[in-house]
Amino acid sequence: MPTKIEKDAITGRMTTGHEWDGIKELNTPLPKWWVYVYAATVVWAIGMFILYPALPLGTHASKGLLGYSSRADAMAGVAEMQALHAEQMKKIGALSFAEIERDPALREVALTAGRVIFANNCQPCHGPNGQGGPGFPALDTDVWRWGGSLEAIERTITHGIRSGDPEAHDSQMPNFGTDKLLKPEEIAAVADYVMTLYGKAQPSPATEAGAKIFADNCAPCHGANGEGNRDIGAPPLRSHVHLYGDTREAVIAQVTHPRMGVMPAWNKRLSPAEIKAVTLYVHSLGGGE
Ligand code: HEC
Ligand code: HEC
């Protein structure tokens, strides 16, 4: 029931004029500062509402006076990153390996790009971290068929191995078995000897026949002691790393009819800068020379 507005004796405040069963309501206004801040946020919100996309209109929202779009903003960020990446790749393409190695930040960029290029192109054959597998050489060891310097790796990647590219690495190991250059028992004997080169069998009078066959037929390519020959990609047979396995059966199979692995040329699929980046990455896996 409305009564008159009066001063409350106890608090000294004015009443609102409302009274219920003798209880009068005090007029306690909001603090001025609070009201101003509140009003300012309302004005601010209206401003934002006008300037930025706000009103949902079904498939899109009102555009706002500034024409701002978070998607355009994100795309601009992506374009900026891409431009930076392109610029850095251009730099990598223009510089020599020695110059890249002298610039740790740029080298880091190249290694990161190289890791991605490797994952996209090389991993199916050479394994996720270049550890290789049967028929596909490990790239993280210091055993190289064609060489482990940056320049050698770059050349291998660019032109490939038996890839058909005119500058590809190329060489053939004779089909000693299928072309009947050696008899099966000679192949078995030379396999027994080859196993002594990497310590899987002990040299004995029984392996001497194989040693002679090796000296006559294999040493011209693989070296007198099985040290290999990078000019023709003949692997070091005395190493503990074996592309096709270190068992007697594996060696016999290889000598009977060599697999002659093929590695694609990448010069048509990757830019020179990308090849440089993936070369630096492969070189960094542990076996780089
Ligand atoms: C289709 C399978 C395949 C793909 C894909 C492939 N490689 Fe190879 N790569 C091979 C084979 C097989 C060899 C060994 C050839 C031989 O017998 O000498 C090889 C050899 C190599 C060698 C020489 C190793 C040595 O010991 O000298 C390098 C370096 C190499 N690959 C790097 C790469 C890089 C980098 C990529 C990706 C850009 C790649 N490879 C993609 C199959 C492949
Ligand atoms: C004309 C050169 C040449 C001659 C001769 C030759 N090789 Fe090879 N050998 C190669 C090449 C090149 C490869 C790599 C081929 C491949 O990837 O299949 C190879 C690979 C091998 C491998 C596989 C190594 C691995 O990592 O698994 C074995 C084992 C081998 N040779 C044994 C022999 C034996 C034993 C003889 C003699 C009976 C012989 N080679 C004669 C060139 C030669």
What is the tens place of the pLDDT at every residue in 183-203? 999 999 999 999 999 988 888
List the one residue out of 93, 107, 103 whose CA is nearest residue 154: 93
Residue 98: band (very low, low, confident or very high) from pLDDT cuts 50, 70, 90: very high
Residue 107: predicted pLDDT = 93
Q: Which residues of 21-56 are buried (b: 16+ CB within 10 A; e: fewer)?
A: eeeeeeeeeeeeeeeeeeeeeeeeeeeeeeebbeee
Q: What are the DSSP E strand ranges found in 49-175?
A: none
Alpha-carbon gap, residue 170 to 174, rounded angstroms: 13
Write down the pTM of the prediction.
0.79
H-only helix segments in the chain: 32-51, 70-94, 97-101, 104-121, 123-126, 150-159, 184-197, 208-217, 219-222, 248-256, 272-283
Residues with CB under 6 A from ligand 2: 171, 173-174, 176, 190, 194, 217-218, 220-222, 232-235, 237, 242-244, 251, 254-255, 258-261
Question: What kind of fold does domain 184-256 have according to CATH?
Answer: Cytochrome Bc1 Complex; Chain D, domain 2 (1.10.760)
Using left for φ > 0, alpha for ψ between -120 and 50, and beta otherwise, residue 173 falls in: beta
Instruction: Tell me, in angstroms, the distance from the centre of ligand 1 to residue 268's CA.
Output: 16
Alpha-carbon gap, residue 253 to 212, rounded angstroms: 20
Rounded average pLDDT over 93-99: 92
Task: Give the three-state DSSP class for 16.
Answer: strand
pLDDT over 60 at 103, yes or no: yes
pLDDT over 90 at 252, yes or no: yes
For ligand 1, say whether the CB of 138 is within 6 Å of any of its atoms: no
pLDDT over 80 at 2, yes or no: no
- Residue of the CA atom closest to atom 13 of ligand 2: 234
Residue 36: predicted pLDDT = 97
For ligand 1, say whether the CB of 137 is within 6 Å of any of its atoms: yes
Inter-residue contact 171 to 230 (CB < 8 Å): no
For ligand 1, say whether the CB of 126 is within 6 Å of any of its atoms: yes
Which ligand number lies closest to the CA of residue 152? 1
List the one residue out of 153, 132, 161 whose CA is nearest residue 245: 132
Question: What kind of fold does domain 78-162+264-283 have according to CATH?
Answer: Cytochrome Bc1 Complex; Chain D, domain 2 (1.10.760)
Determine the residue type at 242.
Answer: H
Residue 77 structure tokens: 């960020």
Instruction: Tell me, in angstroms, the distance from the centre of ligand 1 to residue 196's CA.
Output: 28
Residue 122 structure tokens: 């090389």
Which is more confidently placed, 88 or 67? 88
Q: Which residues of 150-174 are buried (b: 16+ CB within 10 A; e: fewer)?
A: bebbbbbbbbbbbbebeebbbeebe
Using left for φ > 0, alpha for ψ between -120 and 50, and beta otherwise, residue 59 falls in: alpha
pLDDT over 70 at 1, yes or no: no
Inter-residue contact 192 to 201 (CB < 8 Å): yes
* CATH 1.10.760.10 intervals, the chain: 78-162+264-283, 184-256
